[in-house]
Chains A and B, each alone.
Chain A
Amino acid sequence: DAGVIQSPRHEVTEMGQEVTLRCKPISGHDYLFWYRQTMMRGLELLIYFNNNVPIDDSGMPEDRFSAKMPNASFSTLKIQPSEPRDSAVYFCASSKGLAGYDNEQFFGPGTRLTVL
């Protein structure tokens, strides 16, 4: 398996523009997680899905952020409009089941977003 695939790897955009980050989880994994990593706040869970359904989006910072999972092999994280404080590395991870049932989360390589 190719692992979790994220695109693009790097994104540079200007404030106010829409940004879409993409993720393809590992086949057969029922859970998909979106994380954000910054120097100040470390690694934060934004939202996660189970069988394509959003379960917990309490980590999404504000309404400018939205995430979808239209099918088992694809998810997007959208920021509209983007702001400089959104600059971070965004990770997608997937797992067969819950972390609390001893299921490993596999991380993608991340998307480094810079908002100017």
Chain B
Amino acid sequence: AQSVTQLGSHVSVSEGALVLLRCNYSSSVPPYLFWYVQYPNQGLQLLLKYTSAATLVKGINGFEAEFKKSETSFHLTKPSAHMSDAAEYFCAVTSFGNEKLTFGTGTRLTIIP
């Protein structure tokens, strides 16, 4: 079985500060990993994905994530937070040929002006 754990259900950062959202995965096979963002009253939108190519993945809106097998992690970062980044962020895992995504419980990001 695959799973992801998101550390911190709520994260607050000041505008312009570094954003770091943590995700650790558990998988007995090589994982595919995803970050989704959910803005208020909207569905989830794909930010970026790792599917066994480059370990540093760049996504939309200036976000990036690095796959670290030794740490079983896929943390999401952005160098400088913007007010528009306030949203809920979900990490998800699957594997090659798998039908389903397994989501973490989400991290709500608040940006402090």
How many interface residues does chain B have, given as a range?
20 to 34
Q: Complex formed: what's the CA distance from A108 to B42 in Å? A: 8
Q: Which of A45, A48, A98, A108 contacts B97 (CB 8 A)?
A: A98
Q: Which residues of chain A are within 8 angstroms of B18 by Cβ–Cβ distance?
A: none
A100 touches B32 (CB 8 A): yes
B101 and A107 form a contact (CB under 8 A):
no
Asked whether any CB of chain B lies closer than 8 Å to the CB of A91, the reply is yes
* Residues of B near any A CB (own CB < 8 A): 32, 36, 41-46, 49, 51, 90, 94-106
Query: Which residues of A approach B to under 8 Å, CB–CB?
Result: 4, 31, 42-43, 45, 48, 55-56, 91, 93, 98-102, 104-105, 107-110
Q: How far apart are the CA atoms of A99 and B95 in the complex, in Å?
A: 8
Please pick, from B36, B90, B94, the residue contacting A100 in the complex, using a CB distance under 8 A. Answer: B94
Kindly identify which residue among B44, B100, B105 contacts A99, using a CB–CB cutoff of 8 Å.
B100
User: Interface of chain B, helix or strand or loop or mixed?
Assistant: loop
Give the 5 A-B CB pairs with smallest separation, nearest first: A107-B43, A100-B98, A42-B105, A43-B103, A99-B94
Decide if B43 touches A102 in the complex (CB within 8 Å): no
**A110→B98 CA distance, assembly (Å):** 24
In the assembled complex, the Cα of A4 lies from the Cα of B36 at a distance in Å of 16
Query: Contact between B44 and A104 (Cβ–Cβ < 8 Å)?
Result: no
Question: Taking CB as reference atom, which chain A residue is nearest B96?
Answer: A100
Contact of B43 among A48, A98, A109 (CB under 8 A): A109
For this complex, 27 residue pairs linking A to B, each with C-beta atoms less than 8 Å apart, are A4-B43, A42-B105, A42-B106, A45-B100, A45-B102, A48-B100, A55-B99, A91-B43, A91-B44, A98-B97, A98-B98, A99-B94, A100-B32, A100-B94, A100-B95, A100-B97, A100-B99, A101-B96, A102-B32, A102-B51, A105-B46, A107-B36, A107-B43, A107-B44, A109-B41, A109-B43, A110-B42
